[in-house]
Amino acid sequence: MTTTYVIDKDGNSADASAVTLPSDRHFRDAWSLSGDVISEDLAISKTIMQDEIRRARTPLLEALDTDYMKALETSADTTSIVASKQALRDAPAEQAIADATTIDELKAAWPSCCGDSPYA
């Protein structure tokens, strides 16, 4: 019989069958072992989410850059494009992320401008 070990963010390990694990692995790199319970470190989870937002917004910003250039070529109004780009730039610093006090609140703080939440 093979034993599966869980390793937390600090390198501590435990037998996976002997500890209580979070319900999902979204914030796996923020797991912290305390006794026989693995929980998510909220501060690290916020950083992980901000990095995920940055990854999600990259193709959206690229598409908006294309739209912006096309609008400039035709002298069309770029106001909404500029506003959308700014919202994407501001997304990792959303106040709801900073204000989250639980992992569930953090998951719910995914900015809508970045598309569907991977935490839904």
What pLDDT is attached to residue 2?
86
Please provide the size of the chain in residues.
120
What pLDDT is attached to residue 116?
96
Q: Is the pLDDT of residue 109 over 90?
A: yes
Q: Is the pLDDT of residue 113 over 80?
A: yes
What is d(CA 22, CA 41) in angstroms, rounded to the nearest whole number?
11
Average pLDDT, the chain: 95
DSSP state of 10: T
